[in-house]
Structure 1
Amino acid sequence: MRDIVEGDLLWQPSPHDIENANLTRYMTWLKSHIGREFADYQDLWRWSVTDIDAFWASLWDYFDIIASEPYTAVVAERGMPGARWFPGAKLNYAENFFRQQTGDHPALYYQAESGPLTEISWQTLHNQTTRLAQALRAMGVERGDRVVAYPPKLP
């Protein structure tokens, strides 16, 4: 077996993979919506760590996050750990998570060590999430309450 040394390129995406990558779609959106153009990934990365507010605000806009109340800043209390991201924003995670993903397309793939590959569709995941939310409400869980679960490694 050959040792891997620093500097060895382990994998490189094909031009087709690059053209169809989510990151490429985001970079195209940046150019058309806010006029930012990047030569390559390193250029985008450099912007993401030097202009943190603009980078994360662009992601909020790119993903068209739905919020009932807008954020007042991108990041407050910048110390890590402990930074507060998008303070003031109020949103429903489930609404944003499920809004563009529906139907019988796979949302999750699961395979136990000794079992077959199992797919869970977006519709099934949405139905299970809805049932869990209803059960929590029936138990008296309200906005602001914290719920902790220690579930098995099963879908």
Structure 2
Amino acid sequence: MEKVYIELKVVDGYPPVRVESVWAEKVAENVYKVSNIPFYSKQVCLDDEVRTSRGIDGEAVFVGIESDEGNSTVRIIFFGDNESLSLLILADLSGMGCSWEGLSKKFFSVNVPENIDFEQIVGYLEKKSEAGVLDYEYGMVRQ
């Protein structure tokens, strides 16, 4: 596994970083398969194959998508300190066929596979948002 570095567009201080790194597996010269769910990028998703170039220090730098698996990414931030409720919601998302990764106890990135009803996932999140439990945003959406 290697890191692939993705330059981000920062608007009004968000995201809080200018570059995100994702773990990726080399599949060909300058082509990598993304192995974790991005937290900030709106350019790639889990399992995408990405083209890279070499940076100043020899690092793999994202250039574009070679091929995609049709996955989409949604990011969630939970409000309050009810960790049990957060875990219950994440378990519900897993039960609907999604996978997730946490950056902190409140900030998560969710992968929605191509074969999962994206509108069902967003509808579920919207209900939780209306209840004041969380907020969400889209990363890369392909469905």
- Please report the TM-score for the alignment, with normalisation by the length of structure 2: 0.28
Could you say which structure has the higher helix fraction? 1
Could you say which structure has the higher strand fraction? 2
- Please report the TM-score for the alignment, with normalisation by the length of structure 1: 0.26
